[in-house]
């Protein structure tokens, strides 16, 4: 009898965890970051950027209406999608349809991830289809624009597992900017990010571990590397490629808490790497301890104080 009771309790616990994971995968959150950049042009307004990744369309647990509502509320000047927009063997029309709806709010800049390359997707056709609806696919290309009087440049890089990220070639044609953003799918690209000219490095790929079970750890992950499995904000070292030299500014656990604006201050030569947990899911439509997110980044002059901190979302 005791064994039966224990078995029933174990089954009930597994069902409860599974239901919680299904619900969490649908609960899209917004992570608010406020970045102060010294030397921001006087009179220039603040730049609002929405960063999303790992949609894995069409099997995304998050409601697309909910996602579009979040984008509408952020009211961004620019939307950055850092790869894995499509799941394997998905129809590109699904992604094009979503990008068309996103582009109604702001220019949409995309890079490729491992999923786009997993089934020999015609990248040129995909890029052309995106451009027809107001997006841009940046595969070792850059985009420049003006936001509120500030010059912004975004470098989009090829995914390292399926191509060659060309930092030097992509940067060569780019003019100096008030805000320089490098976008790649995987955080593993960070050692080659040009430190002197870059303010932000945006990436995804990790899903924050997706399923983070106490004691058991991460059940779904792309790498054994502890740093890569985490989401959050890291400050890159001025030189070198030693992972031990990365400085954590906000941890995965801190950014999983809603209701705060996390403030950041850029230090010359030390770009900030923002790894998002992403929106979608792989293998199972579940998340646990790693809720889906869109990162809303507000960039401006000396508005964030001298050190990282938190304020309530207004």
How far is it, in rounded angstroms, from Cα 147 to Cα 32? 19
- 228: confidence class by pLDDT, cuts 50, 70, 90: low
pLDDT digits (tens, 9 = 90+) for 92-146: 888 899 999 999 999 999 998 888 777 677 888 888 999 999 999 998 899 999 9
What domain range is 49 assigned to?
2-312
pLDDT digits (tens, 9 = 90+) for 17-27: 777 667 767 88
Residue 231 · residue 290 · CB < 8 Å: yes
β-bridge partners, 296: 32, 50
- Arithmetic mean of pLDDT, 226-253: 82
User: CB within 8 A of 171, min separation 6: which ones?
Assistant: 142, 155, 194, 197
The pair of three-digit structure tokens given for residue 139, joined into one six-digit string: 């595969």
What's phi and psi for 59, nearest 5 deg? -85, 40
Q: What CATH number has the domain bearing residue 84?
A: 3.60.21
pLDDT digits (tens, 9 = 90+) for 67-94: 999 999 999 999 999 988 888 767 788 8
Residue 140 · residue 169 · CB < 8 Å: yes
Number of domains into which the chain is organized: 1
Alpha carbon dihedral 111, 114, 117, 118, in 10-degree steps, equals -160
Residue 221 · residue 241 · CB < 8 Å: no
How far is it, in rounded angstroms, from Cα 269 to Cα 195? 5
Alpha helices in 147-285 (DSSP H): 167-172, 226-229, 252-255
pLDDT at 304 over 60: no
Query: What average pLDDT does the chain have?
Result: 83
pLDDT at 227 over 70: no
Residue 297 · residue 35 · CB < 8 Å: yes
Q: 163 exposed, middle or buried (CB, 10 Å; 0-12, 13-18, 19+)?
A: middle
pLDDT digits (tens, 9 = 90+) for 172-198: 777 888 999 999 998 888 888 888 889
DSSP 12-80: HHHHHHHHHHHHHHH--EEEEEEEE-TTPPTT---EEEEEE----BTS-SS-HHHHHHHHHHH--SEEE
Rg value, the chain, Cα: 19
Residue 133 · residue 103 · CB < 8 Å: yes
Residue 186 · residue 165 · CB < 8 Å: no
């Amino acid at each position: 009898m005791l064994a039966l009771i224990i078995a029933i309790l174990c089954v009930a616990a597994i069902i409860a965890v599974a239901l919680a994971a299904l619900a969490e995968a649908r609960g899209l959150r917004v992570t608010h970051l406020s970045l102060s950049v010294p030397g921001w042009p006087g009179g220039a307004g603040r730049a609002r950027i929405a960063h999303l990744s790992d949609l894995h369309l069409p099997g995304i647990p998050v409601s697309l209406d909910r996602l579009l509502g979040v984008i509408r509320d952020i009211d961004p000047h620019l939307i950055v999608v850092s790869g894995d927009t499509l799941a394997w063997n998905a129809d590109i029309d699904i992604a094009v349809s979503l990008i068309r709806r996103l582009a109604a709010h702001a220019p949409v800049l995309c890079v490729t991830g491992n999923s786009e390359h997993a089934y020999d997707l015609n990248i040129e056709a995909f890029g052309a289809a995106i451009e027809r609806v107001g997006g841009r696919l940046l595969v070792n290309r850059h985009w420049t624009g003006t936001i509120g009087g500030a010059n912004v440049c975004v470098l989009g890089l090829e995914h390292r597992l399926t191509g060659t990220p060309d930092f030097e070639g992509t940067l060569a044609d780019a003019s100096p900017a008030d805000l320089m953003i490098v976008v790649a799918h995987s955080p593993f690209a960070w050692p080659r990010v040009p430190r002197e000219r870059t303010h932000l490095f945006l990436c995804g790929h990790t899903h924050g571990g997706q399923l983070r079970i106490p004691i058991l750890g991460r059940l779904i992950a792309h790498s054994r590397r502890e740093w890569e499995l985490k989401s959050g904000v890291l400050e890159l070292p001025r030189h070198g490629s030693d992972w031990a030299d990365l400085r954590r500014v906000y941890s995965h656990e801190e950014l999983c808490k809603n209701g705060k604006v996390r403030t950041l201050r850029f230090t010359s030569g030390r770009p900030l790497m923002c790894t998002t947990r992403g929106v979608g899911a792989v293998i199972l439509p579940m998340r646990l301890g790693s809720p889906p997110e869109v990162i809303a980044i507000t960039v401006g002059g000396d508005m964030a104080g001298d050190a990282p901190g938190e304020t309530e979302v207004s």
